[in-house]
Structure 1
Amino acid sequence: MKDLSIVIPLLNEAENLPVIHRRLTEVLQPTGLRYEIVFVDDGSTDASFQEIRTLAQHDKAVRGVSLSRNFGHQVALTAGFEHSQGEAIISMDADLQHPPEMLPELYKHFQRGYDVVHAIRKDGEHMSVLKRKTSVWFYRLMNYLSDTHFHPGAADFRLVSRRALQAYLSLPEKDRFNRGLFAWIGFNQVYVPYQETTRHAGKSKYTLKKMVYLALDGIISFSARPLQLSFFAGLFFGCAGLLYALFAIVMYFRGQTIEGWTSILVTVLLMGGVQLVVIGILGEYLARIYRETKNRPLYFVKDATDAVDPVLASPKEL
């Protein structure tokens, strides 16, 4: 058992790996902690895993796991957790936007008895106005829709204790929104601010499409309120349609026909759009139920730097 595990999921980050390893080593070696660095290659197409192998050959603290394909950041993070051996586990990104120099401070809070230490991003000047605004709106929407509180600026840079991690790993769901799951499990939690830095090399792998899907995972995984809102929207437009129908009947018997098709066309399009939105919301919930019922493993391991042969399934499924 190690004192500390650093779990780093990555996708095509070969240029960043030597730099983050050097900075982590400079930070962790003076602490005297027994630590390990667990890199999880989430189906990279560059030389990321070869670089991890090279680092592991020169540093026994480095361990690497290569997944059989790209399963997504949240699943890769889970894979790293399942392969970690530390009493405390810190997750962070490989692009150096999560500063390694913050690790001793996170660990001090663990020593004070906290099970989950969230690093909360302070928006820097390098962040675009659009990203800042969408982040604020997302967390406001999440806190409105969900019974679980989401702290603005929270991401996947956090420390968790072994017992908190075991609680997290006992959750069986396949569509994993980790920042929500760690907020939901409870235990002693604290928030520590940090200043996010610019990416060292490469481009962010979180495209707009992936961020939208992540937001959907967060909303649908932690709230049934969209279904309730769909009901009230249907009720509102149903009542509005009934009133419009009564108005049309009254005007007919008064001999005043309603001229033009614009109002009718707008009404039909509006009602049709609402119906499609409601069907889409129902479809998202049904799709997640379908994925859960198949009970497939979260991921498969293709290769590992450990001396033992890698297993072709997640440890929980064996």
Structure 2
Amino acid sequence: MTGLSIVVPVYKSGPGLRELHTRIVAALDSLTADWELILIDDASNDGTFSKMQDLRNLDPRVKTIRFAKNMGQHHATLCGLQKSKGNVVVTIDDDLQHRPEDIPKLLHKLEEGFDLVIGKISNTKKHHGLRNFGSRLVQKMTERVVGKPPHLGLTSFRAMSRRAADSIATYRGTQTYLPALMFGSVPPDLIANVDIEHAERAYGSSNYTPAKLIGLASFLLINHSYIPLRAVTAWGIMLSIASFLYALWILAHALIFGSSAIGWPSLAVLVAFLSGNILLCMGILGEYIGRLVEESAHSRQFPILEDES
């Protein structure tokens, strides 16, 4: 059993890996010599994995894993949790916006009896406005869906006990949203925040596009809640009630004023409206069914091409 595992999901960040390793070594060697660094390449396909191998040749404490297919940061991190051997596991991004020098802060807080400590950004996030807005929106959704306490901040910079890592790593799906797994595995009273600084990105640009943020939100809503299905059910009930009231109005109008041929435009609009709602409901149900089929069709959880862990 290793004392400490550092898990880093990697995607197209080859130029910054040497600095990341150097700063992690400086932060950890003063604490313990018993640690491992697990780098998971999420199918970068730009030479990043060869830079990871260079680090492994330089330092045997570096473990490398390479995905054949891009699966996203959360899924790559989950793979690292499963591969980790440390009594304590730290997750941190590859872009150096979370400072490796803050790792001791998380570890000291963990020693107070918590099972999960999450870095909470104390300064302004160094992302563009759309990314910050999307992050805040997803955090609000996490409060609603999985019961995250409002005072707890979320980042990908975390330290956790072995039992917390093992509990989170029991998830065997492929559509991963880590905060949902964390709050389903660790009681909120055993989760704490530590203030950290958010630095400017030193290399390249963010790989988090609006489409990826929407994908993460869909994992949260569809894989970890019934909100879309219940919303469609409520909408269907409202439409049924409205249709029934409209039918009563038509009946009353016919009894009082007699029947006439007028009203075909409104009837056509009503039919089109109801047909659109039926297609919407079918699309939501189809999304659930498609994800179930995708989960059952995977012969393995992680598309690992090379594993030197």
Q: TM-score over 0.5 for the alignment?
A: yes
Give secondary structure in 1 for the equivalent of 2:299. coil
What is the alpha-carbon distance in structure 1 between the residues aligned to residue 129 and residue 259 of structure 2?
53
Matches within 5 A, 1:214-293: 214-253=216-255, 254-255=257-258, 263-293=266-296
Supply the distance in 1 between the matched residues of 2:247 and 2:176 (Cα, whole angstroms). Answer: 46
RMSD: 2.4
- SS in structure 1 of the partner of residue 207 of structure 2: coil
Residue in 2 aligned with 1:194? Answer: 196
1:298: Cα distance to partner? 1.1
Offset of 1:21 from its aligned partner? 1.2
The aligned residue for residue 55 of structure 1 is 55
Whether the aligned pair in 1 keeps the contact of 2:131 and 2:210 (CA below 8 Å) is: no
Q: Distance between the aligned counterparts of 1:301 and 1:153, measured in 2?
A: 31
In the TM superposition, residue 139 of structure 1 has moved relative to its aligned partner by: 2.8
Q: Does 1:31 align with 2:31?
A: yes
State the identity %: 27
Q: Is the deviation greater in 8-17 or in 181-190?
A: 181-190
Amino acid aligned to 1:149: K
SS state at 1:7 partner: strand
Corresponding residue of 1:316: none
Residue 214 (structure 1) shift: 0.7
Quick one: structure 1 residues 259 and 139, their matched pair in 2 at CA, closer, same or farther if it must change by over 3 Å? farther
Distance in 1 of aligned mates of 2:106 and 2:261: 69
Q: d(CA) in 2 for partners of 1:248 and 1:162?
A: 66
Q: 1:113 to 1:41 in 2, by over 3 A?
A: same
For 2:148, the aligned partner's letter is H
In structure 2, do the counterparts of structure 1 residues 138 and 170 end up closer, same or farther at CA, with 3 Å as the change threshold? closer
Contact 1:56–1:64 (8 Å) recurs in 2: yes
Question: Is the Cα–Cα contact under 8 Å of residues 117 and 192 in structure 1 kept in the other structure?
Answer: yes
- 1:185-230: CA deviation from partner (whole Å, max 9, x where unpaired): 1252212232322221112222211111110101122211321221
Q: CA deviation at 1:98?
A: 1.7
CA positional deviation for 1:266? 4.2
| Most deviating of 104-113 and 195-204 | 195-204
Matches of 1:103 and 1:265 in 2, distance apart? 63
1:66-124: CA deviations, max 9, x gaps? 12232322221122122222111111110112221220011112222211112233462
Q: Is the 8 A contact 1:156 1:179 kept in 2?
A: no
Equivalent position of 2:129 in the other structure: 129
CA distance in 2, matches of 1:150, 1:180: 12
* Cα 1:99/1:269, change in 2 over 3 Å: farther
Q: Normalising by structure 1, report the TM-score.
A: 0.86
User: For the structure 1 residues 143 and 271, does the alpha-carbon distance in structure 2 shift closer, same or farther, using more than 3 Å as the test?
Assistant: farther
* Alignment match, 1:18: 18
Q: Tell me how many residue pairs correspond in the alignment.
A: 305
8 A Cα contact 2:119 2:193, kept in partner: yes
Distance 1:67 1:274, change over 3 A: same
User: In structure 2, do the counterparts of structure 1 residues 140 and 277 end up closer, same or farther at CA, with 3 Å as the change threshold?
Assistant: farther
Q: Is the 8 A contact 1:67 1:301 kept in 2?
A: yes
C-alpha distance 132-71 of structure 1, shift in aligned 2 (>3 A): closer
Question: 2:159 is aligned with what amino acid?
Answer: L
**2:294 is matched by which residue type in structure 1?**
R
**1:134-164 Cα deviation digits (max 9, x unpaired):** 33333333433x2532656413221111111
Distance in 1 between the 2:42 and 2:272 partners?
Answer: 43
